[in-house]
């Protein structure tokens, strides 16, 4: 989970990357503000470190966000992984999983439209990052089961999404 940001509840920025930069800095994550329209960061997770990429388009008032796994998918395993991606995407409310065709890296993607809004709130951007990391953590074992455990997509998903009942 991201650290709460010390911005006022209603404080907004015209460029949401300014707010994202504050969120990332508050979490002590490494980041690179490549330009006024693009930023990359690295967030630690339970299974791996996640690469975060934020791109702002002022022309369409939208921010595109990706969260990549530290995992490379060999070309011969990609058809099996595509089946898993389709099944995993059925379980998501926000965003979707894909596979970067160039690098062969699994990625969680989401876009935020802000047309007509004065900016994005820190809370909504924190939620966007939290949701992405939470979903990547939740599905990471399924990716491992399919890629290196020899499991089918359905079996991998079922095994990784077991809901625990009761208390230990």
Report the alpha-carbon distance of residue 118 to residue 12 in Å, rounded. Answer: 7
8 pLDDT higher than 90: no
* Predicted model pTM: 0.84
pLDDT of residue 162: 66
168 pLDDT higher than 80: no
The residue ranking higher by pLDDT, 118 or 144, is 144
Residue spans of alpha helices (H) in the chain: 16-26, 78-89, 122-148, 153-160
pLDDT tens, residue by residue, 21-67:
999 999 999 999 999 999 999 999 999 999 999 999 988 889 999 99
**3-state SS assignment for residue 40:** strand
Mean pLDDT value across residues 113-133:
87
Write down the architecture of domain 12-160 according to CATH: 2-Layer Sandwich (3.30)
156 pLDDT higher than 60: yes
48 vs 24, 58, 140, 166, CA distance in Å?
17, 32, 9, 28
102 vs 31, 71, 75, 135, 147, CA distance in Å?
23, 13, 11, 23, 18
116 pLDDT higher than 90: no
144 pLDDT higher than 80: yes
Domain boundaries, the chain: 12-160
């Amino acid at each position: 989970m991201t650290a709460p940001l010390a911005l006022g509840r209603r404080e907004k920025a015209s460029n949401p990357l300014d707010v994202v930069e504050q969120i990332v800095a508050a979490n002590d994550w490494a980041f690179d503000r490549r330009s006024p329209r693009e930023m990359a960061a690295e967030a630690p997770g339970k299974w791996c470190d996640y690469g975060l990429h934020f791109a702002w388009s002022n022309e369409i008032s939208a921010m595109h966000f990706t969260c990549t796994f530290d995992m490379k998918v060999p070309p011969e395993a990609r058809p099996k992984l595509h089946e898993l991606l389709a099944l995993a995407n059925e379980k998501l409310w926000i965003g979707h999983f894909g596979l970067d065709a160039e690098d062969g890296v699994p990625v969680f993607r989401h876009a935020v439209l802000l047309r007509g809004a004065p900016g994005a709130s820190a809370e909504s951007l924190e939620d966007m990052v939290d949701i992405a990391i939470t979903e990547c953590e939740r599905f990471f074992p399924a990716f491992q089961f399919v890629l290196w455990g020899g499991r089918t997509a359905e079996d991998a998903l079922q095994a990784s999404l077991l809901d625990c009942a009761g208390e230990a």
